[in-house]
A and B are shown apart, each in its own frame.
Chain A
């Protein structure tokens, strides 16, 4: 029957189909995002990696972080630590002053340092001295019930203990096995590694910091950024392997060198050297490819009377960005140096080394009698991009992160009020958001839960292991 042109059916028309949909389409983008991500509403939504179980026989930051990403996405993670002592990172606190107690039930006067934070959230913490023959069976039982494992021991150690990939794959062909460490197979295979080694050894330090003529040295990124960043890349390897396993049912082994990951982020350094023999150097707070795009020093602090020296002395830095022609022109007018613009009209000319030295000197000269806030206000007032270099307190107080839920106070089940700065910030997701249950648990806190309830060992056995310090 021909369609009656007088009948209008809502579902056949373009556009929104219901009042709710209409509202959604009419909302400003800002409100739409806030409603979609709904910070604070994470626990009413499902978990991305529900059902994945991962073992973490890891220490420090790098390999634990490869697993913590999974834990935040909803995988169940069992972290295995050495009995009584735990991950060395637990004994690591800035200037030995920030601990949360207890470390372990036999050591009430020792705490876990803040250095452990963010690397092992949401996990069950058990302890096991797994190289003992008595514990082998428990370890194998865990392997049979899990999707994968991340380990960080020196190459060959797990093999000697008969728990490397070639042994485990026999008992669980779906198993995904990750070794993360400094170097991997090759002449320096047994070289140990840390974040700082990655920064130093792989070239990142050689391009970071003030140039010699500015008075500087190769500079360490303050944070263990290479550890964390490489761990996240392992997570990518794991997720890709999980996708492939969905198709084929087969696991894999990933051998991941952390030091190499630092070379990976050097951008043009490798091709520039390979083709032209030019060795990329450091260029301080400026940019080698854009000008103006750098951090300048203002004459006065924003908080001259503050007690904390970080506020009183260091609230003086402004990131200024005006590399496009009209932006640069405006900047030169604001600082009353129109001749700079007439000499460096083309970006190609002003990004040259000598030009950058001259331009930034002129900017700092202009900012000499101003505070950080003055500089930001004047430049923003002229429609340019300029922002303060914020310290920890300012980040903590910044309403942006509070509203987005990426910094929030957390009522931890064991440790009470803790300021959460991680997990949520790794990426917002509208349907299956990341979330934080707890920051960590004491060494061996979940021994009974895992050995007894999951692996079926009698409690008497667990007590025996505990008294012999095997767990």
Chain B
């Protein structure tokens, strides 16, 4: 084992400076050169195809190509949650114009920062205003305007702005916009072509709709995951860890249902606009919720209850449906291995057998394990993973990965974000990348996976906006309100 060193960091400010991308650029080591990758293509006799992909799909080529949704416009009214943000991001990345309408105080999401640490918020070089990283990272090209919808003048401006757009994303509390007289049923009378999509946690209507507390606090994720069994079904069971010490139902580390709702909302909007333009001629009213859109992707869990009254239990890092398909501990972390069909299943065995000959005898020669379905029985999972972990415990993640990849098995280590950022394949494409922003300096961000396309790649053009940065531009373009009037309205607290 490597020698353990105690390193004392005495001054956090020094460390922060050292880490700044202007001083310590990303990536720390350069991505693999093209020649190395060409060898990979050649090994599978796919040189032609590899070249074609590199020439046509590369990330770097995106800005020379058109944008799929160029000309489409959306308003986004929402706060606190990630759903409207992610929906807006996707639309912007694909080329639409999205106007994020915030109250004059701003979306409170701007103020959120891990563990309340203000030093991890970024200050705009222009306005000096601080913004949290979650908001900044998801504010991808959306324009920021402020508008107080609780004033009559603010509502008038909102109605006018609706005349300019294809769709509205509404993630305010249940019935809020409707109560102000600017909900779908009011606006659709003025502009019947408008597509309106609510985003909510459990819904804006129905017996278990979103609530606000007595003091006005909103329902946020993970309430969605609590209401659709996602959280109940995730985590380690009692057999693996004690209750209260890791063996509990577990929420996702991120507001996952919000992301799912956001992308389904974007799909719903595009489908509705397609129908309007191609077939029906009118807009419509839509609603996507985190709880339900995540339930839509909850495998078969609820239907399984309908099938034989099974209530799914937690299975930790294993999967009751597939074998092998898990991560198990190895010497320096966790190693994920997958391969269910016979072709892959025996390849995994062949790989492990090389170091650990017993594996072949105990696994391959077990008559039950010869049948793909039967491998999923609990005892069979236990047997397979016990023996696999016996092999893994002596090797590191990287060794295990190299050995398994020789057999072309889907395998990969559990990586942390620093390792993700430096993983050769990831920085080659790249799938985190730096972007130069006028307000916040150089930022590392997650690249949209739709960025690799022949004709209309999605792309991030700008990251982060100070509050109300685009107010003057948008007020003129969307409502015909000039500078003097905007200033007047600002004084009155409307903008």
- Contacts known (A275-B443, A427-B268); A290 close to B220, Cβ less than 8 A: yes
For the complex, is B101 an interface residue (Cβ under 8 Å from A)?
no
| Chain B residue contacts of A25, Cβ below 8 A | 185-186
Cβ–Cβ < 8 Å partners of B90 in chain A: 233, 236
A164 touches B252 (CB 8 A): no
B217 pairs with A406, CB closer than 8 A:
no
Would you list 22 pairs from A and B whose C-beta atoms are within 8 A, ordered by A residue?
Answer: A34-B205, A114-B303, A118-B296, A118-B297, A118-B303, A187-B37, A206-B414, A223-B234, A229-B256, A236-B266, A257-B449, A261-B449, A264-B446, A273-B444, A274-B434, A280-B417, A317-B249, A385-B219, A396-B305, A400-B203, A418-B306, A428-B286
Chain A: interface residue total (CB-CB under 8 A): 196
Chain B positions within 8 Å of A50 at CB level: 275, 279
B112 lies within 8 A of A289 (CB): yes
The reply to whether A189 and B286 form a contact with Cβ atoms under 8 Å apart is: no
Contacting pair A200 B412 (CB below 8 A): yes
> A325 — nearest CB in chain B belongs to which residue?
B215
Residue contact A432 to B272, C-beta cutoff 8 Å: yes
Say which one of A130-138, A212-220, A335-343, A449-457 lies at the interface with B: A212-220
Interface residue A459 (Cβ < 8 Å from any Cβ of B): no
Closest-by-CB residue of A relative to B380 is: A96
A107 CB within 8 Å of chain B: no
B154 interface residue (CB < 8 Å to A): no
- Whether B114 pairs with A117 at a CB distance below 8 angstroms is no
**Which of B56, B179, B231, B341 has the most A CB atoms < 10 Å from its CB?**
B231
Question: Within 8 Å CB of B474, what residues of A?
Answer: none
Nearest Cβ on chain A to B55's Cβ, whole angstroms: 10
A270 with B432: CB separation less than 8 A: yes
**A279 to B452, Cβ gap below 8 A?**
no
Give the residues in chain B near A208, CB-CB below 8 Å. 250-254
Contact (A432, B175) CB under 8 Å given A229-B263, A253-B56: no
Q: Quick check: A384 and B317 within 8 Å, CB to CB?
A: no
Instruction: Determine whether the beta carbon of B304 is less than 8 Å from that of A114.
Output: yes
Chain B residue contacts of A443, Cβ below 8 A: none
Which B residues from 372 to 403 make CB contacts under 8 A with A? 372-378
Cβ contacts under 8 Å, A314 to chain B: 232, 249, 313
Residue of B nearest to A190 (CB): B44
Question: Which residues 274-304 in B have Cβ within 8 Å of A in the complex?
Answer: 274-275, 277-280, 282, 284-289, 292-304
The B191-229 residues at the A interface (CB cut-off 8 A) are 197, 202-209, 211-217, 219-220, 222-223, 226-229
Interface residues of A in 340-361 (CB under 8 A from B): 347-353
A98 is contacted by which of B119, B238, B308, B316 (Cβ under 8 Å)? B308
A267 CB–B CB distance under 8 Å:
yes
C-alpha spacing A449/B308, complex, angstroms: 34
Q: Is the CB of B217 within 8 A of A393?
A: no
- How big is the B interface, by class? 35 or more
Distance in Å from the Cβ of A59 to the closest Cβ of chain B?
9
User: How far apart are A49's CB and chain B's nearest CB, in angstroms?
Assistant: 6
B206 contact set on A, CB distance < 8 A: 30, 400, 403-404
On whether A430 and B243 interact (CB within 8 A), knowing A196-B325, A385-B213, the answer reads no
The answer to whether B231 and A392 touch across the interface, beta carbons within 8 angstroms, is no
Known pairs A252-B453, A419-B302; A390 contacts B295 (CB<8 A): no
- In chain A, positions 195-229 with a C-beta closer than 8 Å to chain B are 196-197, 200-210, 214-225, 228-229
B203 and A404 contacting across the interface, CB-CB below 8 Å: yes
Cβ of A108 within 8 Å of any chain B Cβ, yes or no, is no
Let me know if B168 is at the binding interface, CB within 8 A. no
B447: A residues at CB distance < 8 A:
260, 264
| Contact between A223 and B434, CB atoms less than 8 A apart | no
Cβ–Cβ contact A425 & B295, under 8 A: yes
Q: Is the CB of A268 within 8 A of B132?
A: yes
Q: A94-B376, A184-B452, A208-B253 are in contact. Are A421 and B295 (CB under 8 A)?
A: yes
CB pair B185–A285 under 8 Å, yes or no, is no
User: Known contacts A159-B48, A271-B443: does B410 contact A194 (CB below 8 Å)?
Assistant: yes
Q: Report whether A297 and B248 are in contact in the complex, using a CB–CB cutoff of 8 Å.
A: yes
With known contacts A65-B297, A208-B253, A252-B453, A92–B207 Cβ distance under 8 A: no
Contact (A197, B454) CB under 8 Å given A159-B46, A314-B249: no
0 or 1 for each of B41-61: is its CB under 8 Å from A? (1 = yes)? 100111011101110111000
> A91 within 8 Å of B by Cβ?
yes
List 15 additional A-B contacts (Cβ < 8 Å) besides A317-B249, A427-B288: A193-B410, A200-B334, A202-B420, A219-B235, A240-B94, A246-B274, A256-B450, A260-B426, A267-B82, A270-B421, A277-B19, A385-B212, A388-B226, A428-B286, A429-B284
